Structure 1
Amino acid sequence: MAELLFYEKPAPLDKEKHRGLTYKKSDSYAFASKVNTVPVSGPEFFSCSRSHPVMFVETASGGFLPVALLSLTSQSHQLGDRWEGAYIPSFVKRYPFALAENKGVVMIDESAPHFNAADGERLFDDTGEPTQVLLDTLQYLDTLDQAHRMTLDYTQALKVKGLLSRSQVVVELANKEVKLDSFFVVNEKAFHEALTDEEIVDWFYKGWTAWTYAHIHSIGSVNEILKRMAKTMR
């Protein structure tokens, strides 16, 4: 899950260069104010579905990636800086850290306000060893990476089974129809018919069946987007 969507000054975390770096958590997500979608992993689909539709986008390599649709406006959303009352995807919560494709490399955004706070906690001790703060962060990033890799397996299986089709969802917004046809969704009817008995069992134990139904259920959360948009238009 190495894409650095919000990172203005990405750099590998280095125990020499960043020996004195301090870190302080923040409940502000202002850094994500200019996006209307963010990636999500399969284990998040249920929680995400209450606040945001989970849809799929096609990648440059021809694969698919699930994303949370945050808004119908371009390069913005109506969640404010703190996303109060809405699900916050792990892709957002992990900032200003990220795990590179090479799992031994942790990336940070050196420009993030989370760093060098006077009351922040150090990431390395005086000998250059990781503090508990950094160890906890590394464990969190590894958990997210595992979920991301499982999700890639899931989306590849959806593609192989031909279960993703272009979205037919149309939303009425300001007396205009907004088509969400740049996204892909699972065809529920095809899903019921596509799997063999063995695959049904396999998908159930992998959690993919639950993820699929959570995704299908989440489409109704377009109404949550409309509610958020309506509040900002008052």
Structure 2
Amino acid sequence: MSSAAPQPTAGLPLFYRDPQPLNAAQHAGWRLADGDAAFAAQTPFVPVVVGELAAAARCYPIVFAGGDGQPVAVLGLEQRNLFVAEGRWAEGVYAPAYVRRYPFGFIRTVNPDGFALAIDAGSERVLREGEGGVALFEDGQPSALTKQALQFCDAFQADAAATRAFAEALTASGLLIDRRADATLPDGRKLGLDGFRIVDAEKFAALPDETVVDWHRKGWLALVHFHLASLERFSVLLDRQNAVAAVSQDHVSEPQDGAAAKPKTKKA
């Protein structure tokens, strides 16, 4: 969606490198080690679903991807996630469900409407042998961990279907318009984020009464308002970007061993 977007493995969802449907025969000895959010450190955006849009909108700009109109939380202005540092998600900031479900996920089955619980075998947390971590299966049956993952991914999948309906309605109503965000950092570098869409507030206000009533009953009016309010969060992203740049500059300015420290001057 942007010039800063990470490049996922071809044909695979963001983050996933080798998703495999879980089964007791093939993965009987597999275990899952503790992990952190380092896998998302270079990701400037992630998808969000309607059930979490209100919570996500309080922390990030929520925009819509070009094409299918998928709601997306913008996490950074460059090739990095401004909310992950040393593998930890920023304290007090909502972590999207797409991030929290990893390395689990759903994968389509032969049945067009069917999905099976999968795990990313490419994740560093996946242990194929040994006694570390937590078992995925016990006595040939899914462990408590795997059952919890199944419940979480099942709820996420249901929300994803509701999200597609919402995005399709926005697109069909002609409410989504292309936008670009530009920013200039204190060091003079210019950043640009494009390839996304937002709701046209004027067109939204002019929706027919019957559409307003229908969308109100479905909860979609509130979702649009959350989205529009979240656009103010672009200023928060810029502030975080400036803070990161300042810390990086301080590290560059630190004297090397044996080198004399240069005095710092303050700008008015």
TM bucket (normalised to shorter chain) is 0.7 to 0.9
Shift, 1:168, TM fit: 5.2
Shift, 1:152, TM fit: 0.4
- Within the candidate set 94, 110, 119, 1:108 is matched to 119
Q: Distance in 2 between matches of 1:87 and 1:121?
A: 26
SS at match of 1:183: strand
Shift, 1:16, TM fit: 0.8
Match for residue 96 of structure 1? 103
CA contact (8 A) 2:185 2:242 kept: no
CA contact (8 A) 1:4 1:98 kept: no
Could you say if the C-alpha distance between residues 213 and 3 of structure 1 is closer, same or farther in structure 2, counting changes exceeding 3 Å? Answer: farther
Shift, 1:171, TM fit: 3.2
Task: Provide the alpha-carbon RMSD of the alignment.
Answer: 2.1
Q: Distance in 2 between matches of 1:44 and 1:182?
A: 23
Shift, 1:113, TM fit: 3.0
SS at match of 2:71: strand
Q: How many pairs were matched up?
A: 226
Q: Distance in 2 between matches of 1:98 and 1:181?
A: 28
What is the correspondence of 1:1-234 to structure 2 with a 5 Å cutoff?
4-26=13-35, 28-59=36-67, 63-73=68-78, 75-79=79-83, 80=85, 81-85=87-91, 86-102=93-109, 103-116=114-127, 118-126=131-139, 128-167=140-179, 169-174=181-186, 175=188, 178-194=191-207, 196-234=208-246
Q: Distance in 1 between matches of 2:88 and 2:100?
A: 11
SS at match of 1:167: strand
Moved more, 75-84 or 115-124: 115-124
CA contact (8 A) 1:167 1:181 kept: yes
CA contact (8 A) 1:55 1:68 kept: yes
Q: Distance in 2 between matches of 1:168 and 1:36?
A: 15
SS at match of 1:233: helix
Residue identity opposite 2:199 in structure 1: V
Q: Distance in 2 between matches of 1:207 and 1:108?
A: 32
TM-score (norm 2): 0.77
SS at match of 2:63: strand
SS at match of 2:206: helix
Q: Distance in 1 between matches of 2:229 and 2:97?
A: 20
**Identical pairs, percent:** 31
Structure 1: state its 5+ residue gaps: none
| Structure possessing the higher relative contact order (Cα contacts under 8 Å, 6 or more residues apart) | 1
Residue identity opposite 1:111 in structure 2: G
Deviations 1:42-72 (CA, angstroms, capped at 9, x unpaired): 222211122211111123xxx2211111111
